[in-house]
Every structure is written in C-alpha cells, then in structure tokens.
Amino acid sequence: PFSMRTVVTGFGPFGTVADNPSARLARDCGAEFRILEVAYDAIDDALREIGPVDRLLLMGVAAGRFRPRLETVAPAWRRSPAT
C-alpha cells in the first residue's frame, strides 16, 4: 500500500508565549511531529534533520491574533536582519 510521510511541526516558547499552542497541537495531532526552536538559524538544521517528506505542516502562533490564519510565507522572516 502507498504511504505518505507527513510531519507536523510546532514551536517552543518565545517572548511572552511560555506555552506555545503550536507545540501542543503538533504533539497531539496523531502524526509524526517535531517541536522547533524559535530561531532563524535553527530552522534549516531542523528541516535537514526531518529529511524528505510528502507533506509538511509548520504551525506557529501569532501573538495578539484571535483567529487562525494561513501563511504561505513567513512575514517575520522577510523582516529579519538574517535574510
């Protein structure tokens, strides 16, 4: 049978977000998951460690937002001095 590898990620704590809900959602979703460090330089290493996947869902939290939203590009990454 054909099987697809799905990995779901969430992020650890950062700033005023001590208990990041994205980490809880990733952990409880029933799929393979990883909790990522909130640091630009950590993401490339984490994605290399995850390796090839068929589907990858990266979840985060937007502090101060009250509704879910879909991002196709990380706006904060575009504003980062590291880019």
- pLDDT value for 69: 77
Which DSSP state fits 57? E
Helix (H, G, I), strand (E, B) or coil at 75: helix
- pLDDT value for 74: 63
pTM: predicted TM-score of the whole model, two decimal places: 0.77
Give the residue-averaged pLDDT of 14-38: 93
pLDDT digits (tens, 9 = 90+) for 38-76: 888 888 899 999 999 999 999 988 877 888 777 776 666
- pLDDT value for 54: 95
Backbone angles phi, psi at 32, to 5 degrees: -60, 140
Check if the beta carbon of residue 35 is closer than 8 Å to that of residue 75.
no
25 Cβ contact list (under 8 Å, min separation 6):
8, 10, 59
Give the residue-averaged pLDDT of 7-34: 93
